[in-house]
Homo-oligomer: A and B are copies of this chain.
Amino acid sequence: MNIPRTSFPRVVIIGGGFAGVALAKKLSKQEVQVVLLDKNNYHTFQPLLYQVSTGGLEPDSIAYPIRKILKDFPNFHFRLANVEEINTVENKVLTDIGELKFDYLVVASGAETNYFGNSEVEKNSMAMKTIPESLNLRSLILENFEEALLTSDLHERNALMNFVIVGGGPTGVELAGALAEIKKGILPKDYPDLDTRLAQIHIIQSSDCILKGMSAKASEKAEDFLEKLGVNVWKNVRVTNYDGKIVTTNTDLTFETATLVWAAGVKGATIKGLNAGDFIYRGDRLLVNEFNQVKGFKNIYAIGDIACMVTEEFPNGLPMMAQPAIQQGKQLGENMVRLIENKPLKPFEYHDKGAMATIGRNKAVVDLPKFKFQGVFAWYVWMFVHLFFLIGFRNRMVVFINWVYNYIRFDREARLIIRPFKKKLKS
Contacts and interface: CB of A to CB of B under 8 A. Distances in A.
Interface in A56-79: 58-61, 63-65, 67-68, 71-72, 74, 77, 79
A402 B393 CA distance: 11
A274 B414 CA distance: 34
Interface residues of A, number: 67
A152 interface: yes
B152 A65 contact: no
A98 interface: yes
Contacts of A150: 1-2, 79, 97-98
A41 interface: yes
Interface stretch (A6-14, A19-27, A82-90, A140-148): A140-148
Given A41-B142, A394-B402, A131 B416 contact: yes
Interface stretch (A160-168, A185-193, A203-211, A228-236): A185-193
Nearest to A393: B405
Contacts of A131: 416, 418
A414 B60 contact: yes
A416 B79 contact: no
Contact of A41 (B2, B398, B417): B417
Interface string A27-54: 0000000000000111000000000000
A179 to B, nearest CB: 17
Interface in A368-427: 392-395, 397-398, 401-402, 405, 409, 411, 413-426
A63 B40 CA distance: 25
A324 interface: no
A132 interface: yes
A405 to B, nearest CB: 5
Nearest to A244: B426
B146 A418 contact: no
Given A1-B150, A65-B190, A405 B397 contact: yes
A243 B419 CA distance: 28
Contacts of A414: 60
A326 interface: no
A80 interface: yes
A149 interface: yes
A68 B413 contact: yes
Contact of A422 (B3, B68, B152, B419): B419
A415 B424 CA distance: 16
A146 B411 CA distance: 38
B61 A146 contact: no
Contact of A416 (B1, B65, B398, B413): B65
A411 to B, nearest CB: 8
A124 interface: yes
A393 B413 CA distance: 10
A40 B139 CA distance: 11
A80 B2 CA distance: 48
A409 B124 CA distance: 44
A335 interface: no
Nearest to A3: B193
A190 B124 CA distance: 39
Q: Which of A67, A124, A189 has the most CB of B within 10 A?
A: A67
A150 to B, nearest CB: 5
Interface string A312-327: 0000000000000000
8 A-B pairs closest in CB distance: A58-B60, A58-B58, A60-B414, A71-B189, A65-B415, A67-B190, A80-B146, A42-B416
19 contacts: A41-B416, A58-B61, A59-B416, A63-B416, A64-B413, A65-B416, A71-B190, A74-B192, A77-B193, A80-B143, A80-B146, A132-B418, A135-B418, A135-B420, A136-B425, A140-B425, A394-B402, A419-B420, A420-B421
